[in-house]
Chains A and B, each alone.
Chain A
Amino acid sequence: MLLPELFALLSSDLFLLLSLLTCLLEERFPKAIPYVYQVAALMGFGHLLVSKMFLTVFDEDLRFWYNFFYLAVGLANVVAVNLYLAVSKKTWVLAKVWSASVTFPTVFISIFFVYNYGYLQGATFPLLTVDLILILSVAILGIAVAVLLSPKLLRRR
């Protein structure tokens, strides 16, 4: 059985990942950003502590929502950094690499866990959501196959 605190754990690790990556790419980000992400990861630790302290007081719905919100914030930061690299810094290659190596894996792993949690809790998801995810997966697979067959597509014009 999955605990809703798994989302906080996942999101906290996402913030740590962002902290290390922004440190490695420090010339492209404000210098305080890695430390801000460390503090954000510490907030995840606080989430887990609160859940542990008030396990018998908070019901599972409440625990799910505040942990899920924290995960959503973490994912939003991953996407925001991706957009920052692409739009503000105009480092397209880096943005694409970030997108493939950080954004998509983290988003899909998070969706997997959220769906798995929902399934175990007996929640039913709208069919449209499942369809959209399937379409997105097929689209990504198509792009990956196209790039594999023709690597020139990745070259900057």
Chain B
Amino acid sequence: MINLKIINNIKLKKSSKFLILLLASMLIAAANAFVFYSLSMVSTITTATTGVWFVKGLDNVTAGVSLSPDNTSAVLTGLLAYPNASFTYTDPLRVRNNGSILHQIRLSPVTLSGNDTEFVYVKFLLRNGTSETSETLVSLEYNCSGSDWTVPSATGWVQIPASTEYAITVVTKARDSAASASVTIEIAVDVQ
């Protein structure tokens, strides 16, 4: 009530009061608009299911393939490399585009560890289909000179249509009279 009495006692012309209120109103309206605009700019991110994932191929048992529960990572523990002989796992693992739109995928290297003297190469081929005659679209080739590995750069992007599976073929070869050794290679299938 004291404040109201103070306001009553202030003698201001009507035009001055209106001007003050108008300026205050413009300030409040502008501040409101600014906060509302910044509020409408706040993004809400929701989780989504992946449209591209791994599925086991026909040679999955031989290659020792195990998939994560959501099929977004795969581990191949049964791959062997024979001395002076190229050995091919034609269809151990597949990439499936389970979505309704076309995606682009590529193979890219992540990490490499282990022996670097007993192998000749390990190749990962992305093939246009799952049959033995399917052509190779891109390949990621790890070559070993006998003293060091040559890590390849990422492949180019290839298109994978909706509801389609492409096989990842693995080709291995060990050095002639190779001793017991192992190498662990991690690669990624990039999707966009």
Using a CB–CB distance below 8 Å, which chain A residues touch chain B? 3, 5-6, 8-9, 12-13, 16, 19-20, 23-24, 26, 31-32, 34-35, 38, 41-42, 44-45, 48-49, 51-52, 55
User: Which residues of A are found within 8 Å of B22, using beta-carbon distances?
Assistant: 20
| Docked-complex contact B33 and A20, CB < 8 angstroms | no
Contact with A along B2-22 (1 / 0, CB 8 A): 001001100000100110011
- A41 B35 Cβ-Cβ under 8 A: no
Contact B8 A48 (CB under 8 A): no
Check if B178 is an interface residue, CB within 8 A of chain A: no
Residues of A within 8 A of B7 (CB): 31-32, 35
Q: Does B42 contact A (CB under 8 A)?
A: yes
Contacts A41-B28, A48-B35 aside, 19 further interface pairs with beta carbons under 8 A come to A12-B29, A12-B32, A16-B25, A19-B21, A20-B25, A23-B17, A23-B21, A26-B14, A32-B7, A34-B21, A35-B7, A38-B24, A44-B32, A45-B32, A48-B39, A49-B35, A52-B38, A52-B39, A55-B39
Minimum CB–CB distance from A59 to chain B (whole Å) comes to 12
Interface class of chain B by DSSP? helix
- Is A12 a contact partner of B28 (Cβ separation < 8 A)? yes
B31 part of interface (Cβ distance < 8 Å): yes
Most buried by A among B22, B24, B29, B32: B32
Q: Given the known A-B contacts A24-B18, A26-B17, A32-B4, are A51 and B28 also in contact in the complex, defined by CB atoms under 8 Å?
A: no
Q: Which residues of the partner chain A approach B32 to less than 8 Å between Cβ atoms?
A: 8-9, 12-13, 44-45, 48
Nearest chain A CB to B46's CB is how many angstroms away?
A: 13
CA distance A52 to B25 in the complex (A): 21
Nearest Cβ on chain A to B38's Cβ, whole angstroms: 7
Distance between Cα atoms of A27 and B146 in the complex (Å):
100
